[in-house]
Amino acid sequence: MFFYFFFAHFCNLFFTKRKLNFIVFYMTDSAKKLWANCLSFIKDNIKNDEAFKTWFKPIVPVKLEGENFSIQVPSKFFYEWIEEHYFDLLKSFLTRELGENAKLIYMVKMDNNIDANQNHVNIISGSTKSPVTSQEVNMPFSNSNSKISNPFIIPGIKDVAVESQLNHSYSFDNFIEGDSNRLGRSASLALAQNPGKTSFNPLFLFGEVGLGKTHLAHAIGIEIKEKFPNKTVLYISAEKFIQQYSEATKRNTRNDFIHFYQIIDVLIVDDVQFLSGKKGTQDVFFQIFNHLHQNKKQIVLTSDKAPIQIQDIEQRLLSRFKWGLSAELQKPDLETRIQILKEKIKKDGIPINDEILKYIAENIKTNIRELEGAIISIVAESSFNKVDITPELVKKVISKFVKKSNKELSIKTIQKIVADYFQMDIETLKSKTRQRHIVQARQLSMYFSKKYIKTSLSNIGMETGNKDHATVLHACKTVENLSFTDKKFKTALEDIKKKITNL
């Protein structure tokens, strides 16, 4: 449905929302010609192809009547942004073409509906007349208090034109390829050559922490920006997306939030498993995903697990995650680990011979971050003690490092510690039995998993006998309450805590 409010001085009839059901606008030749000239003028003056493409290409000229020029914009967000940033340009052009009394009329269309207001801008006085009622409201631009409903104004992300948020230290050139990641790298490079037009849409990269998913995600964006500088590319973590949506909901700017993401050409979302349990965010991401996919825009997703293993995600969204290609990144083999170490020391100018590098690679087999962390620890030990990097020094550092790595904390590790403390097996701990000591053991395992492991409540629940996130929250609250009221329980809590922290 289209909703318009026309002032009496523009026409003799006033249409209300109830009286006006549908209006079809025909672009006049004069409007099209004027707007084409205006676009040419704007492009010559802003010198920013991406900003031009983002904020002016979606605008549609509607009609030119005397000194009144009407254009259609996709949302209120658009005209607020244009008024805030391009008012002087538009004023300069339209007064030159139409005279000192030129007026620009915005017709807001969003989600296939003309929504809310025609916004009448007096180009000369610099005032906005927003006919939300039959009365005129004068709002000088210089004193406007309206805020742009742009999620990227949130601290940590720069203002638009859309900054890609890419880390240029992550590129295909410095990504070491091996059998463990060849599919993921090859697919990433292929889609970067032709974004939105391959069968890899979405590309879903998954694997354990520290195996290069984020590196490839940034590399894709960097490659696309180099080859297609006019494309709007955006990298964002799922946690930041969730935060932005929450802010948009509080500010009642949900539609603007959706529209903002729908103008992206290449959307890269890291760690989508954090959408687990976030029903509202899943709904809005579903809409954005559909719009981008239908319009041949490229979507890249990363996760620490395969789509089928992500819990508490709507089935309709999971099915879309599997539409394109899912590529797993696995732990690197020995040869790849050695190459990763060589790249690291070459980049940082660290003098370590091949024999020592091989020793490190043979002893640290977990992930790339562990390998790089080992090199940093070795260099630090050498620098602080002012000694050379010798095999003896490396063995000393690695012995401590490997000991720590071998006992890397996980939900299963915590469950094992708790189960051993209560003298039961893990399956009993995860069972549905309501025996008091078993229930308390189960609650303690969930409590410590939430405390020490960076993962979702849904994932903790899933790993603890397919419980939901509400059960995990309840368990954590129960543990906190019992620690104040039950001395025996508090002793168990402290004992288990020591066992975990002493790993």
On the question of a cis peptide bond just before residue 161, with omega within 30 degrees of 0, the verdict is: yes
Model confidence pLDDT, tens digit, residues 108-142: 764 443 333 444 444 433 333 333 222 222 222 23
pLDDT over 70 at 47, yes or no: no
Domain-terminating residue out of 100, 127, 147: 147
Q: Is residue 153 domain-resident?
A: no
Model confidence pLDDT, tens digit, residues 454-496: 778 888 988 898 888 888 889 998 998 888 888 888 888 988 9
Q: Which domain holds residue 261?
A: 182-328
pLDDT over 50 at 405, yes or no: no
Q: Is residue 175 domain-resident?
A: no
Domain-terminating residue out of 343, 375, 406: 406
Q: Is residue 41 domain-resident?
A: yes
Model confidence pLDDT, tens digit, residues 297-335: 999 999 988 888 787 788 888 888 888 888 888 877 778
Residues 70 and 140 in one domain: yes
Q: Comparing C-alpha atoms, which of 271, 289, 278, 275 is closest to residue 207?
A: 271
- Alpha helices by DSSP H, listed for 312-456, are 315-321, 334-348, 354-363, 368-385, 391-406, 411-421, 426-430, 436-452
- Cα 207–chain centre separation: 18
In terms of pLDDT, which residue wins out, 166 or 16? 166
Residues 294 and 344 in one domain: no
Model confidence pLDDT, tens digit, residues 165-222: 888 888 888 787 878 888 888 889 989 888 888 888 899 999 877 788 889 999 999 9
On the question of a cis peptide bond just before residue 202, with omega within 30 degrees of 0, the verdict is: yes
Q: Which residue has the tokens 């970067």?
A: 192
Domain holding 125: CATH number? Answer: 3.30.300.180
Q: Is residue 162 domain-resident?
A: no
Domain holding 397: CATH number? Answer: 1.10.8.60
Domain holding 307: CATH number? Answer: 3.40.50.300
pTM, whole model, 2 decimals?
Answer: 0.50
User: What are the φ and ψ backbone dihedral angles of 220, each rounded to 5 degrees?
Assistant: -60, -50
